[in-house]
Amino acid sequence: MKLNTKLPNINPISYADMLFRKDKRKDLFLELTQEDRLKFLGSATKSVKIDLLNKLSDEDIVSILQSLDPDEATDILQLLTKAKREKVMLLLSQELKDALSTLLAFDPDTAAGLMTLDYIEVDEKDNIEAVAKKFRAHEAKTGRPPVILTLKEGQLAGFLPGHELGLAAKSEVIGKYIKKIPSISYAATHRDVVKQFQNHPHSKVVVLNDKKEVVGIIYSDDMLNLLSESSASSLYNFAGIHQEESITDSATSKVKNRYRWLIINLGTTFLAAFTISMFQDTLDKYVLLAIYMPIVAGMGGNAATQTLAVQVRGISLQQINMKTAWRTLKNELGAGFINGLINGLLVAIIVMIFNQDIKIAVILALAMIINLLVASIFGTIVPLIMKKLGKDPATSATIFITTATDVLGFLAFLGLATLILN
């Protein structure tokens, strides 16, 4: 069984208490059915799971582990303290203990950390009846149907689709029914695993050791979980929030994770304020300009965020680097110019309707075009520079891009106003 990320079937207030009230968490959890316990563990944040699991009795944890697939059980074990993990391992069945010991031996950040052991190995010269016997034995022992991996002279040859066990004659040799299956090294990174599934859109990938022997298998649902976690991580990075922060963290913890980012942002806002102060005389004469300043900066920031999101995705998939940036930059500049024209025209019409001031309408339209071009340039180049410098582009690029669109946006808007209105 896999951990279910659906919410448990309990009262929403009780669920909230389980998340935020440490004093009630254990007792409320133990009142749940086994199915709802697994659902809660699938939906809770890491910090909540660590706190809860280390408070539960060894017997309660064993009950949970025996309801899960070995790979999911391994994830649970890794959240326990070393002493508690050793006690729990002693209470497990020998079969589960062997499976978990195998999985715990691998680095969780590699392909081996994602794999499960739900497979059987057969020789390409075996017949259907012999394979079916192994299949049934594994299913009876684990409660889960295995992938049938076929070997040729001890090396991976492919896999046998399960339906062939029911369609082919018992005496038939399985060789002619073998299908190809992609494989990956146990030491491959999670990113390599993602690329493998993207390049070979199959439902599973075999994990091999240095001797090209099978050590496990990765299913597509494990991949979906990984991508989901990666998306959440990217959102945290994009907001300048520490990856491990969760909704249940204390105020003190949240401050520690965020204050540096906010201080840096504070510095950039002073830079924007200094730019505005350079045109104080123009603003004193034409107060109307102050009303429209946030529009220029806001639209530039929004456009830059769109460009940055595309760039970060392209960088993560290795679709773009500094050497190939020009074509992307050219397309982004084209898009920025056209969007600038469209939005500049719209805002100019609004100014004419409400203020009947053609000069300010023209200034605002031109500033909009300029700032969307600035957003295109910085949104494309800055994340590539950060990547080149060994920094996370999602985390580090945002501050420079926002500063550029604010400062240069105000500079363009107020600079044009000074030239045209004075």
82-91 vs 58-65: helix crossing angle, rounded to 10: 70
Of 195-209, 358-372, 408-422, the poorest mean pLDDT is in: 195-209
% of the chain exceeding 70 in pLDDT: 89
Residue 318, pLDDT above cutoff 80: no
Paired with 156 in beta bridges are 151
pLDDT of residue 210: 87
Provide the residue type at 124 as one letter. E
* DSSP for 334-368, written as a single string: HHHHHHHHHHHHHHHHHHHHHH--HHHHHHHHHHH
pLDDT of residue 253: 73
Q: Where are the chain's structural domains?
A: 12-104, 114-230, 251-421
Give pLDDT tens digits for 329-346: 999 999 999 999 999 999
Give pLDDT tens digits for 293-305: 989 888 998 898 8
Any idea which fold 114-230 has? CBS-domain (3.10.580)
Contact indicator for 222, 117 with CB cutoff of 8 Å: no
pLDDT of residue 8: 66
**Distance of alpha carbon 265 from alpha carbon 86, whole angstroms:** 46
- Residue from 237, 241, 239, 240 nearest 249 by CA: 241
Spatial strand order of the sheet with 147-152 comes to 119-123, 147-152, 155-160
Residue 376, pLDDT above cutoff 70: yes
The class level of CATH for 251-421 reads mainly alpha
- What is the phi/psi pair of residue 161, to 5°? -55, 135
Any idea which fold 12-104 has? MgtE N-terminal fold (1.25.60)
- What is the phi/psi pair of residue 305, to 5°? -65, -40
pTM above 0.75, yes or no: no
Give pLDDT tens digits for 247-293: 666 778 777 767 776 787 788 888 888 889 999 898 888 988 988 89
Residue 225, pLDDT above cutoff 70: no
